[in-house]
Amino acid sequence: MDTQSKVFFLDFFYSYNTKKMVKIRDKRLSFLHLFFVGSIILYVLIGPFLVQQKYLEREIPVGSIRLSLLIPPEREQYLPYCLNETNTMYSGYLNKPCVYWDETLMMYPLSEENSLFITTRVTIKTQEVNNCSLTQRNCTHNTLETSEYYIADVDKSTILIDHTMVSPKLGIQYNANELSGILLDQDDKLIEDIESPNVVGVVGEYDILTLEMILKAAGIDTLDQEGFENSSRSIRDDGMLLFCFITYSNTYTYNTNMFRYTLRFHLIQDSKFKILEPIYLDGVNKRQILNRHGVRIIFIQNGRLGQFDFQTTLLTFISGMGLATFAGWIVDFIAIRLIQEREKYAKMKYQDSDKT
């Protein structure tokens, strides 16, 4: 081993590097260091902690919804879209005879998971086979009679929305009547003029909305306006599709014990909706086909819940400390390698002690 290698070997194994605090009075380095530290504070504290709330462990909740429909207690006799001797057109569209269905007839099917269909117009075809058997290749059902109706007072019908959410990982579970909530319009603005029988976000009560109120929240004035797929038909005639987003949160303030949900109805453009319902009267030989058009609402539960977690907070803090150390290393590198006074600052920063 040559002398130079021997000196390096001994210096490596018989020396110890320790930190030394040196105050360098240099405006350039001072401003650069303050800039880095300020940026790190904004990036680690202001951003993640105050805005993004990265000290929280988060989870997207899951849930279930129970939906039911109720007709208005009093039914109106004279409706502008119902056909009679003096009332043949409304809002530019031909009127149809009206039938006063109850909620059992109005909904189809009676129970669905996270969705609801409300009939606004129905075409009823009565059909039977004509002196033949369905075992024969050319035997088909012939239409004997066709009737078409609007469903009266469907706009005033109320929908009960009983929703429950649970966050298994965070151990959080609430029913809708335990939480406060708000109704938003299509522009995410708060709807404040909620009148009876509508109820939204009142603790101790279930959410109840009329179809009329739901249409308003989705930006639709009336069922009698122009349809979205066919301009020659009204929405009442053609049907439509809506999404309802139920969004849960406890991070809209810094108090994670305050839970809230929002209801927002979103219209699917260029849509219509219909369902065919067969009713068999005599085995399979005679039947009625109900061609139902109406409003289908699909409910989607989402959101994000948070809970303070020390480990998550510690990881965020340590990442900030690592950035601060890296920023100090950059300033040190500039001080002892790049600027004109680098040799002077290097001697101040690195110093050998006497051998012991």
On the question of pLDDT at 203 being above 80, the answer is yes
- The pairing of strands 115-129 and 207-210 is unpaired
pTM (two decimals):
0.76
Give the per-residue pLDDT at 252: 78
Q: How far apart are CA 211 and CA 240, in angstroms?
A: 12
Higher per-residue pLDDT: 339 or 217? 217
- pLDDT tens for 292-301 read 999 999 999 9
Interval 136-192: pLDDT, tens: 999 999 999 999 999 999 999 999 999 999 999 888 999 989 999 999 999 999 999
pLDDT band per the 50, 70, 90 thresholds, residue 32? confident
What one-character DSSP code corresponds to residue 350? Answer: -
Q: Render pLDDT for 301-330 as a digit per residue (tens, 0 to 9).
A: 999 887 766 676 677 777 777 777 777 777
Contact between residue 341 and residue 332 where contact means Cβ atoms under 8 Å apart: no
Q: Are 292 and 276 in contact (CB under 8 A)?
A: yes
Nearest Cα to 298, choosing from 264, 322, 330? 264
- Between 79 and 22, whose confidence is greater? 79
Is 60 exceeded by the pLDDT of residue 356? no
- Could you tell me which of 258, 62, 81, 87 has the C-alpha nearest to residue 156? 81
In the chain, what percentage of residues exceed pLDDT 90?
Answer: 54
C-alpha–C-alpha distance, residues 43 and 152, integer Å = 59
Of the pLDDT bands very low, low, confident and very high (cuts 50, 70, 90), residue 354 is: low
**H or E element that contains 175:** strand 172-175
With vertex at residue 57, the alpha carbon angle to CA 55 and CA 59, rounded to the nearest 5 degrees, is 145
Strands 286-308 and 180-184: unpaired
Residue 278 half-sphere exposure toward CB, CA atoms < 13 A: 10
Q: Alpha carbon of 324 to those of 50, 169, 231, 334: distances in Å?
A: 19, 33, 63, 16
Residue 346 CB contacts under 8 Å (≥ 6 apart), including other chains: 336
Domains and CATH numbers, the chain: 23-54+310-349 (no CATH), 58-307 (2.60.490)
DSSP 3-state assignment of 163? strand
